[in-house]
Copies of this chain bind each other. A is one copy, B any other.
Amino acid sequence: MRIALDAMGGDRGSEMAIQGALAAVRDRKDLNVILVGPRTIIEQQLVEHAGGNHDALGRISVHHASEVITMDDSPVEAVRKKKEATIMVGFDLVKKNLADAVVSAGNSGATMAAAVRKLGRLSGISRPGIASFFPTLKKPVMLMDIGANVDCRPQHLYQFAVMASSCSRLLLNLDHPRIGLLSIGEEIGKGNALVKDTYELLKQSPLNFIGNVEGRDVYRGDVDVIVCDGFVGNIALKISEGLADAAMQMLKREIMKTWRAKLGYLLIRQAVNGFKKQVDYAEYGGAPLLGINGTGIICHGASNSIAIRNAIEVASNMVHNRVNDAIIQALGEYAA
């Protein structure tokens, strides 16, 4: 298993990628990681962080790439102009069968654009998209699309459902993932025009479609996959992050008002950390690109080394479980 890791993606520098790679090869002995970035810099940092771990160094290599696509770059322009960018070179390694998957914490639009440009779409898929795991009171739920496709037709949402169903079935070991359609009421007929038409498509499909789910159901965990267009999915993701941040700040402001509460906070800190771990995106291994003819994982820009390690793990599992073959097979069965 060979994972190409964008060493220059992410807001926190190449150290996070290197530490993530080291953690990943430490945990899985069948794994090789190819760090993609400026060779001299990355090799030097790698030796520093590896600290003489020869087994790790033997399974982490560096592949040179001279350019970087930044968060501010326009994805479409960037993949056209920056042909030597880390993320372009990463997907090129997959294309040439020198790597099995790509992981990047860089510009997510550019990562998607690079994947489509280098590898193309899966046969039968009109719009690749980005899926993401959300923590819930029970098992994590996979939401798709979280931002790649802002204007969708029912057929696109239907394909998201097929892809996310296959992916979550194999990654989370579910027999028949329950598929929900994100809407503003549970009853049939609730929602906008896109949702109403998608409802009909999903109802007629062999997918385990359980109907509409509301925003307030996302975190309950009574469904395995939630389908929505990329505009709505991105708002859902970002508003959740924003609320979590703001709530934590508001609560801290209240706690800092009295000594009593400050003392109380010291006593519950361990519980708070346990809670944070439950909802931390770093634990969920990044967001799979689904619908490309290959395997790619996008990590949050602020990813730490744990997030990178977990994303490498998810990428390996996707390749190992042949998620793309399952998607193609499901599409074929459903068409017939």
Contact = CB atoms under 8 A, between A and B. Distances in A.
Interface in A257-275: 257-258, 260-261, 263-272, 274-275
Interface string A234-273: 1111111111111101110011011011011111111110
A182 interface: yes
A147 B184 contact: yes
A218 interface: yes
Contact of A220 (B147, B242, B266): B242
A contact face: mostly helix, strand, loop, or mixed = helix
A247 B279 contact: yes
A192 B264 contact: no
A143 to B, nearest CB: 10
Given A258-B270, A271-B257, A240 B238 contact: no
A172 interface: no
A216 interface: yes
Contacts of A326: none
Contacts of A269: 264
Interface string A63-90: 0000000000000000000000000000
A336 B261 CA distance: 56
A136 B192 CA distance: 28
B184 A150 contact: yes
Interface residues of A, number: 61
Nearest to A277: B254
A240 B238 CA distance: 11
Contacts of A19: none
Interface in A186-219: 191-193, 195, 214-219
Contacts of A238: 184, 214-216
Contacts of A251: 271-272, 275
B243 A191 contact: no
Contacts of A193: 150-151
A254 B235 contact: no
A96 to B, nearest CB: 33
Contacts of A147: 184
B241 A215 contact: yes
B239 A236 contact: yes
Nearest to A260: B267
A246 B219 contact: yes
B271 A255 contact: yes
A232 interface: yes
Contacts of A191: 150, 231
B250 A261 contact: no
